[in-house]
Amino acid sequence: MAELTGRTQIFTGNTTTVDTVQQYPFGTRAFDPDGNEYIYLTGIGSTILGSWVTYDELGITALLVADAIGLVAVAMAIIDSSSKFGWYAISGTAEAAIAANCAADKAIGFETTSGYAGDGKAAGDTIYGAVSREATSGSADIVTVQISYPSVDDNSN
């Protein structure tokens, strides 16, 4: 049986801090007092607070688009350049970019605009492990979602 090890780490700033110099190894995980979990990654152009991104094992992000494949996270700040770094939500409750006319308590996926999700997702664009918790009306908005290690796989089944 393998023995588990770990370490306690103190982080500077908070989930909305945007770094211009990398402060932690990519993939570093942290928790807030409410138990929400975050991962430290690079930014990408056009990222806003609440953008949905996919990310790889190197910590590189891409705005969520149609037919994406990979792990998904939600930006906690405007991390709008590959030379910026910050925290992305991967588990718990987050404020995320949701397309117009999305109902509350629905499975969501990529919808219409890069980095946005909604309940009108096309086949193959479901974000597994993500649920809207608030509705949007006539326009896109940043609303509460619940996530649990979300991912996309471009599977149209």
Say if CB 82 and CB 43 are below 8 A apart.
yes
Above 60 in pLDDT, residue 118? yes
Mean pLDDT, residues 78-106: 97
Q: Using one digit for the tens of pLDDT, what is the confidence trace for 52-62?
A: 999 999 999 99
- Predicted TM-score (pTM) of this structure: 0.93
CA dist., res. 76 & res. 115, Å (int): 13
What is the pLDDT, as a whole number, of residue 121? 84
Structure-block tokens of residue 12? 């500077």
C-alpha to C-alpha distance for 66 and 102, rounded to whole angstroms = 17
Q: How confident is the model at residue 34 (pLDDT cuts 50, 70, 90)?
A: very high
Position 83 pLDDT exceeds 80: yes
pLDDT of residue 141: 95
Contact by Cβ (8 Å): 15, 76: yes
- Closest among 75, 87, 5, 25 to 47, alpha carbons compared: 75
Residue 2, pLDDT > 80, answer no
